[in-house]
Structure 1
Amino acid sequence: MDLILVGLALLGVLLAFLAAGVWIAIALGGVALVALLAFSNAPAGLVLATTLWGHSHSWSLAALPLFILMGEVLLRSRLSEDMFSGLAPWLGRVPGRLLHVNVLGCAIFAAVSGSSAATAATIGRMSVPELKRRGYPEGLVIGTLAGSATLGLLIPPSIILIVYGVATEQSIARLFVAAIIPGLMLTAMFGLYVAARAWMNPALIPPPGERASFLARLSASRRLIPVMLLILGVIGSIYTGLASPTDAAALGVVLAVILAFGTGGFSWARLGEAAMAAVRTSAMIAFILLGAAFLSVAMGFTGIPRALAAWIGGMGLSPLALLAALTVFFIVLGCFLDGISVIVLTTSIILPMVQAVGIDPIWFGIYLVIVVEMSQITPPVGFNLFVIQGLTGIDIVRIAKAAFPFFLLLLAGVGLIVAFPSIVLWLPSLM
Structure 2
Amino acid sequence: MSIDAIQRFYESGRPEALMHAVATQLAGDNPSGYVLHTDEPLFDPLGFLRSLGVHVDRVEAPHPLFTYHWSRPLWRPGQDEPTHVRSEDALRPALASGRFRFTWEGERFDFVGLIVPMVVRDRNERWLSAPSQEAAERFFDAVCAHHAEIRAEILVYKNGCWQKDAALYAEVRRSSLDDLVLPDGMVSRVRDDFRRFLDSQAFYAQHRIPYKRGALFLGPPGNGKTLCIKGLIGELDVPCLYVQSFVAPHVPMQQCIGEVFARARRSTPCLLVLEDLDSLVTGEALSFFLNELDGFAANEGLITLASTNHAERLDPALLHRPSRFDRKYHFGLPGPSEREAYVARWSEALAAPMQLDVATQEKLVAHTDGFSYAYLKELFLGALMRWSADPEQAFVDVALDEARELAAQRESVTSP
Q: TM-score, normalised by structure 2?
A: 0.22
User: Going by fraction, where is helix more abundant, 1 or 2?
Assistant: 1
Q: TM-score, normalised by structure 1?
A: 0.22
Larger radius of gyration: 2
